[in-house]
Amino acid sequence: MSLARLRLARTEGVGPALHRRLLARHGSAEAALEALGPRAHPHDGALREMETLSAMGARLIFQDDADYPPLLALIEDAPLVLAAQGSLSPLRQRGVAVVGARNASGIARRFAEDLADALAVRGIAVISGLARGIDAGAHAGALRSGTTIAAIAGGLDRPYPRENAALQARIVAEGGLVLSEAPLGTAPLARHFPRRNRIVAGLSLGVVVIEAALQSGTLITARLAAEAGRELFAVPGSPLDPRCRGSNDLIRRGARLTETAEDVLAFLPEAPAALPILRLAELPETPPEAMEEAPPETGASAQVLEMIGATPIAVDELGRRCQLSASQLSAILLELELAGRIETLPGNRVALA
């Protein structure tokens, strides 16, 4: 049964919404695969992935599994399946994300380490994206006294950046957890990072932002956290430092000013709020090209965006005009939607936001 669920989740063009429709229509993953016929993900490919994960000491967690993170399941486009390496115990703790600039100042990285340490010693699982800078500092600090969860953009076998490969291995070895939505072998391309960011936000009861420029991928995580009704915290920085303008602006817009772990714990709920803390429109736009340091994108995103206007257009029609595969178009549309550039409308249509 797990093999069938993996094949369905890995089938090109089958995202969370279509996955739900297929299961509702056909009743099981096996029946849905039969209906898809040759379009379904190959049996042998899924079997190899499962065998390789097992050899790595990793496993798959599906949406309907008891171990699937309950907070993550609340977001609209929750991953169909996660590859998990390490201990699942951190998923049973309250989690706080600590995120920020890749080119962080030395003092900001030390602050991230100390804050993560102070949260971890109080039983909080510290969550981040295993990027250089603030992310790496947060993971390392949490491991001093507790545990951490890393959500990565590529496959479990593709650490990124390479300099953090040892840190990824250390997280696994010291009781932490590394999660990936991507199949093994997936390179961490720029379009994958917004999807990684939604996992970081979705796993967390609150998100702490340390040093974020006005045009940065960190603000995507902040926006997703606000949309999901999670608490948003920001550490103030010098107004003369461009790396602090985004995080300072978050405070101006209502994020909780944070200087110590107590500032976080005082407002950390047991469960997410019923309504978003900040409206999505209140947070600044983040252009797709500023999201993460990663291998360069092609011009496909710009091509797709150019064909979307204020008048809704059907996704199928957009695909025909752009001559992109369903999976390529789906990934680009998700990236544009998470960046606040487009919105998805009923009837499988999109329009400029």
Q: What is the pLDDT of residues 165-177, one digit of tens each?
A: 999 999 999 999 9
What's the pLDDT score for residue 324? 83
pLDDT band at 278 (very low <50, low <70, confident <90, very high): low
CB 234 within 8 A of CB 287: no
> What is d(CA 223, CA 146) in angstroms, rounded to the nearest whole number?
27
The strand order across the sheet containing 342-345 reads 313-314, 349-352, 342-345
pLDDT in tens, 47-85: 999 999 999 999 999 998 999 999 999 998 899 999 999
Percent of the chain at pLDDT > 90 equals 66
Q: Dig out the tokens for 42 from the structure.
A: 């190959």
What's the pLDDT score for residue 280? 42
pLDDT band at 340 (very low <50, low <70, confident <90, very high): low
Give the pairing of strands 125-128 and 342-345: unpaired
pLDDT above 50 (res 157): yes
pLDDT band at 288 (very low <50, low <70, confident <90, very high): very low
Q: What is the mean pLDDT of residues 177-184?
A: 97
Q: What is the DSSP letter of 125?
A: E
Selected residue with higher pLDDT from 42 and 76:
42
State the burial class of residue 173 (Cβ atoms within 10 Å of its Cβ: 0-12, 13-18, 19+): exposed
* C-alpha closest to that of 41 among 268, 289, 351, 327: 327
To the nearest whole number, what is the mean pLDDT of the chain?
89
- Of 20-24, 36-40, 234-238, 297-301, give the lowest mean pLDDT range: 297-301
What's the pLDDT score for residue 274? 59
Which amino acid appears at position 38 of this protein? Answer: P
CB 58 within 8 A of CB 168: no
Half-sphere exposure of 32 (CA within 13 A, CB side): 24
Selected residue with higher pLDDT from 282 and 78:
78
3-class SS of residue 65: coil
Which amino acid appears at position 234 of this protein? Answer: A
Selected residue with higher pLDDT from 259 and 20:
259
What's the pLDDT score for residue 273? 67
pLDDT band at 277 (very low <50, low <70, confident <90, very high): low
Which amino acid appears at position 56 of this protein? Answer: M
